[in-house]
């Protein structure tokens, strides 16, 4: 996907007026969070598991080079291949070369955020292949030719009518008078259409929630089972993942799985948890002939050991997104990045550069809800702040904003002058505002008074009153 983060403000303004989107977001705002809460309440050791999950990821990141190499060895031992992709270009080329080497035409695809990051569908299409998304949400947005608006529920911004419209427009071989009123009808139709593609596919591409160094396995969790068909039916299975998806062993993977689904959808487990280890072996009844793992870096290794290091613990559960008041207000597309919400506002500048996404770290109230729910306890507000610091040091900060802060800071460290000025201003504002108790509009504060009354001050400052009363000063 092409980054559109520099238009955050305009995107957000549009989103706030989009009634369909607002209706969808209202549902999300209560749906996932309440389910997560209930799932956590059912598991007494949930908080302890979060600590363990954090520690597992921290340990892995400290020894990432070791585990990546171990993983590569294990994959090779089982007959698979590991490919290292420094950036998006590398990754796309590797995927295409594999497809070309087997003369692939149709490529089925399970849900993969790394695939989105690489815009692999667009690339393969350009090269004359037919990529088909098999996750229902991804399939729908592929038909509509739009990016995902959420990392685990890519079509969450859409209503049923949008889906019906997309199906009627695309599935032209079906009778136009068919009934698509119920969600089940839509599901049935998608399933029937996708069945044909599964059978026709030469290559299946999936993502990976985890890579396991001990066994050389990759793991995906899905609720539709489409991932299994994507990876077992075609001759070639390509896994797209990024360096931080590593875990040392099966045991650790199990711990992370226990917090993943609970944090995401409030499920104990996703419906399908699938482990892939190498290609089809002699006595396997089925499976692909070739097994490839493409491991993408794309800026992540630069995060290691730096301010946003902890972000690499992220297991993409989306809890921070689901609970974010800003995301709940504007939805995913406003962020202009495939990674929306709090996690995206830390990750996007790291991947694409801060200049391209300077609004994102700022578009947060710093309410801390994201950190409160993150299963691996990533201090997201602190990382957003570290991006803001970078911006302040050498990035684009609006000149007026800089000026305002400097003026404020100048007076704030000169208390005598500050209190004197404050006394006069508050007296004036207090008098002017006495009639209503607030101002409907006020010079230089349109950003506030456009939608909110500005409360009038009492009139005298506390410092002034304390002096008048002869209160204790030392």
Binding residues for ligand SF4, rule: CB under 6 A, are 263, 314-320, 343, 373-376, 378
Return the number of the residue (303 or 343) whose C-beta is nearest ligand SF4: 343
CB of 301 to another protein, least distance (A): 25
**Angle at the Cα of 152 from the Cα atoms of 298 and 193, rounded to 5 degrees:** 105
Return the number of the residue (144 or 460) whose C-beta is nearest another protein: 460
CB of 294 to ligand SF4, least distance (A): 21
* H or E element that contains 455: strand 454-455
Rounded-to-integer distance, Cα 47 and Cα 28, Å? 24
Rounded-to-integer distance, Cα 222 and Cα 230, Å? 12
Q: How many CB atoms lie within 10 A of CB 97?
A: 10
Which partner, ligand SF4, another protein, none, binds residue 316 by CB below 5 to 8 Å per kind? ligand SF4
Which partner, another protein, ligand SF4, none, binds residue 329 by CB below 5 to 8 Å per kind? another protein
Return the number of the residue (141 or 422) whose C-beta is nearest another protein: 422
CB of 260 to ligand SF4, least distance (A): 8
Nearest to 20 by CA among 189, 192, 155, 220: 155
- DSSP helix/strand/coil, 411: helix
E runs forming strands in 152-235: 203-206, 210-212, 217-222
Which partner, another protein, ligand SF4, none, binds residue 319 by CB below 5 to 8 Å per kind? ligand SF4
Structural Rg of the chain based on CA atoms = 26
Q: Confirm if 68 and 271 have CB atoms less than 8 A apart.
A: no
CB of 413 to another protein, least distance (A): 5
DSSP symbols for 212-264: ETTTTEEEEEESSSHHHHHHHSSSEEEEEEEGGGEESSHHHHHHHHHHHHHHH
Which partner, ligand SF4, another protein, none, binds residue 87 by CB below 5 to 8 Å per kind? none
CB of 371 to another protein, least distance (A): 7
* H or E element that contains 393: helix 380-394
Which partner, ligand SF4, another protein, none, binds residue 419 by CB below 5 to 8 Å per kind? another protein
Buried b vs exposed e over 194-224: b needs ≥16 C-beta within 10 Å?
beebbeebbbbbbbbbbbbbbbbbbbbbbeb
CB of 350 to another protein, least distance (A): 16
Return the number of the residue (7 or 267) whose C-beta is nearest another protein: 7
Which partner, another protein, ligand SF4, none, binds residue 437 by CB below 5 to 8 Å per kind? another protein
Which partner, another protein, ligand SF4, none, binds residue 320 by CB below 5 to 8 Å per kind? ligand SF4
CB of 322 to ligand SF4, least distance (A): 8
Return the number of the residue (120 or 317) whose C-beta is nearest ligand SF4: 317
Chain positions contacting another protein, by CB under 8 A: 9, 12-13, 16, 325-326, 328-330, 362-369, 371-372, 385, 387-393, 397, 401, 405-406, 408-409, 411-413, 415-416, 418-419, 422, 426, 434-438, 445, 447-448, 450-458, 460-463, 465-467, 471-474
């Amino acid at each position: 996907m092409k980054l559109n983060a520099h238009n955050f403000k305009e995107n957000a303004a549009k989103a706030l007026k989009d009634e369909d989107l607002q209706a969808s977001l209202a549902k999300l705002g209560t749906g996932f969070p309440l389910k997560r809460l209930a799932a956590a309440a059912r598991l007494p050791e949930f908080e302890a598991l979060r600590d363990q999950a954090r520690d597992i990821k921290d340990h892995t990141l400290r020894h990432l080079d070791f585990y990546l190499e171990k993983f590569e060895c294990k994959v090779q031992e089982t007959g698979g291949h590991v490919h290292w992709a420094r950036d998006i270009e590398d990754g796309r080329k590797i995927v295409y070369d594999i497809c070309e080497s087997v003369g692939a035409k149709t490529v089925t695809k399970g849900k993969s955020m790394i695939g989105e990051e690489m815009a692999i569908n667009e690339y393969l299409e350009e090269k004359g292949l037919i990529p088909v998304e098999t996750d229902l949400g991804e399939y729908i947005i592929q038909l509509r030719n739009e990016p995902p608006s959420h990392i685990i529920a890519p079509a969450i911004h859409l209503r049923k009518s949008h889906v019906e419209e997309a199906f009627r427009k695309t599935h032209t071989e079906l009778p136009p008078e068919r009934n698509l009123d119920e969600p089940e009808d839509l599901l049935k139709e998608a399933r029937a259409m996708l069945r044909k593609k599964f059978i026709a596919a030469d290559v299946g591409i999936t993502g990976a929630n985890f890579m396991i160094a001990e066994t050389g396995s990759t793991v995906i969790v899905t609720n539709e089972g489409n991932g299994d068909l994507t990876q077992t039916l075609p001759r070639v299975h390509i896994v797209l993942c990024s360096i931080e998806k590593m875990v040392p062993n099966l045991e650790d993977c199990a711990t992370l799985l226990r917090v993943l689904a609970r944090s995401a959808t409030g499920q104990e487990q996703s419906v399908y948890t699938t482990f892939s280890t190498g290609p089809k072996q002699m006595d396997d009844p089925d499976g692909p002939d070739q097994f490839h793992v493409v491991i993408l870096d794309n800026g992540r290794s630069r995060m290691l050991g730096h301010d946003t290091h902890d972000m690499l613990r992220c297991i993409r559960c989306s809890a921070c997104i689901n609970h974010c008041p800003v995301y709940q207000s504007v939805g995913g597309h406003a962020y202009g990045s495939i990674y929306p919400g709090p996690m995206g506002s830390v990750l996007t500048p790291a991947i694409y550069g801060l200049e391209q996404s300077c609004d994102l770290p700022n578009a947060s109230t710093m309410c801390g809800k994201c950190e409160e729910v993150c299963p691996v306890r990533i201090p997201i507000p602190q990382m957003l702040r570290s991006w803001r610091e970078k911006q302040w040091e050498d990035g684009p900060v609006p000149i007026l904003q800089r000026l305002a802060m400097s003026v404020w800071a100048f007076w704030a460290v000169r208390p005598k002058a500050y209190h004197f000025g404050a006394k006069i201003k508050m007296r004036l504002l207090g008098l002017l505002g006495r009639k209503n108790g607030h101002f409907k509009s006020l010079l230089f504060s349109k950003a506030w008074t456009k939608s909110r009354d500005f409360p009038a001050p009492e009139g005298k400052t506390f410092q002034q009153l304390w002096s008048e009363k002869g209160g204790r000063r030392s």
